[in-house]
Structure formats: structure tokens, C-alpha cells
Amino acid sequence: MLQLRNLNKSFGSLKVVDELSFDLAPGESLGIIGPNGAGKTTLFSLIDGQLAPDGGSVRFLGEDVTRLPPQCRCRAGMGRTFQVPRPFHGMTVFESARVAACFGAGLSGRQADALALETIDLCGLIGRVNTPCAELTLLDRKRLELTRALATNPRLLLLDEIGGGLTDPELAQLDAILRDIRARGVAIVWIEHIVHALTAFVDRLAVINFGALIAQGAPQAVMALPQVHEIYLGVDIDEAA
């Protein structure tokens, strides 16, 4: 479904993404971890077209999309949430989801209404369907961010720290929603600092440091690697022992 090959991105002399490559299969869930400044969010911006790479390629559903703008990638089936929710404060929950269904999924009329309501219900916001976005709690803003991404009818969903700031019970609710989404065949790439939530959900885990892929594989196996403890957790296993 998604193939990244030798992606590079620098800002001046700072290399943020460094020869990064990985594949994602249809319906697979991949978690990405790494310290602050590792290049994770920049990687998402290269995948969804908000940034152009300095080198390398992005292929999605068999097509080279490296130079396509974000709106074309969205119509092709990429959805994304942002680390800091960006609600349309002048709109209600329903209106926000409908905008995504119209401009992201290309629907109109009753089809757009139906998709908007379906995703609102799926994300647990049906009781707030007519609530102004500006009045939502943090959890509900996170749910709205997910709702809008889903209302574009994606085949691939990019989640940027959607669990940040949530309590454990709220994370459990989010996990249930994401499992429902995955059961519908949507592939997921999830960046998260709440490692226990991530490793309990994803099929595969990747670790990025200074823009480079350090390790990837089964979540528990990756978290047990000495270089992951040292780079991500700041712990040298040998010295600790």
C-alpha cells in the first residue's frame, strides 16, 4: 500500500529525515517512536505532501505520489490527524465532518451527510453532533480530529500523537475506536510518545532517531533492543545492569 524509498529532508544544514525507507501493507498498523526532534512529524508531512522531499520517493497504492499536493493524496485515500487539534471554531461537529466528506472524499448531498454522521458516531461524538467545535473538551477535540480524517474516507490513516494529553481511561476509549477503524480495513501509521498504548495496538513498531530508521519489527522485540533503550529511553542496559 505505502512504500517509502530513501527519503531525505533537510532544513539548512540540519538533516531531519535521512535515507528513510519502509513499506506498509494494506490493513497493517505501524507504530513510530523516537525522541523529540527525531523527524517523525516531518516524515508524516513528506508522506501526505505538505513537504517535498530533497530526495527519495513516496508510492501509494502502486502510484508515485512524491510530487502530488496534499489535496490529491487526500482524494487518493490518505487521511491525517495533527498533533495539535485544528478545529474549525466557527462550525459545529457535524459541519466540520461534512466539510471533510465534501472536500476530502468528494461527496455531496445525502452521501456527504451520511458519511459525516457515520464517522461522528464511530468516534463517539454523536451526542455532540451540533456542539460548536470551540466548546469541545480535549478528548472530544481529539475525537473530532479523528472524525474529520475518517470523513475523507481514507485507505491509510496517519495519526500524529493523537493520545497526547489523554488519561488512561480516555486512552482505552481511543484504543477501542482505533480497533474498530482497523477492523474496517484501514491501514494505520501512528506516531506516539505513550509507548504502552502504541505497543498494545500496532502490528509492527519502528524507531527513528535523527531522521534515520534505527529498528523495526514486533513491538515487544523492538522495545527490548539495547539500542532502543539507549536512544529512545536514555538508558544503557549494560551500564544499568
Give me the sign of the Cα torsion angle 116, 122, 127, 128: negative
Determine if the pTM surpasses 0.85: yes
Number of domains in the chain: 1
Beta carbons of 107 and 115 less than 8 angstroms apart: yes
In this structure, what CATH number is given to the domain that contains residue 65? 3.40.50.300
Q: What residue ranges of the chain have pLDDT lower than 50?
A: 235-241
3-state secondary structure of 151: coil
Which of 81, 72, 10, 75 lies closest to 44, judged by CA? 81
Q: In this predicted structure, what is the pLDDT of residue 35? A: 86
Adjacent-strand bridge partners of 216: 206
Instruction: State the residue range of the domain holding 90.
Output: 2-240
Beta carbons of 140 and 69 less than 8 angstroms apart: no
Q: In this predicted structure, what is the pLDDT of residue 232? A: 62
Beta carbons of 158 and 81 less than 8 angstroms apart: yes
